[in-house]
Amino acid sequence: MHAPSPMALLLIAIVVLVLFGRGKVSSLMGEVGKGITAFKKGVKEGSQEDAAEEKAAELNTADDIAAARAELAAERAKLDADRARLSTDSNLRDVTPTDQTKS
């Protein structure tokens, strides 16, 4: 398929102008221009936001890892303290079920 000739494009433009009128075509082209401008602006802002998010993720990763390690160390210390307290507690009783059918 080949591109239309300049004469064909001119004929199409004349038919569109006659059908819709000069005012309607002008406002339509203005809206198309605004749409293209908004699209370009959105693409530019999107790429800037992506770059900022990637940089923030890289910076937060080291901080997040350090915070998670500190939390794990605190939890481990708490569990060790609880385990030590429970092992020395004399009020514990054995609640293991026993089989009473065997005699």
pLDDT per residue over 59-89, tens digit each?
667 777 888 889 999 999 999 888 888 777 6
**HSE toward the beta carbon, residue 52, CA cutoff 13 A:** 6
Please report the pLDDT score of residue 103 as a whole number: 52
pLDDT per residue over 18-36, tens digit each?
888 888 888 888 899 999 9
Nearest-5° angle of CA 35, CA 41, CA 46?
A: 125
Go through 70-88 and write b for each residue having 16 or more CB atoms within 10 A of its CB, e for each that does not.
eeeeeeeeeeeeeeeeeee
Within 10 Å of residue 20's Cβ, how many Cβ atoms? Answer: 13
Please report the pLDDT score of residue 77 as a whole number: 93
CA 99, 100, 101, 103 torsion-angle sign? positive
Q: Domain spans of the chain?
A: 11-83
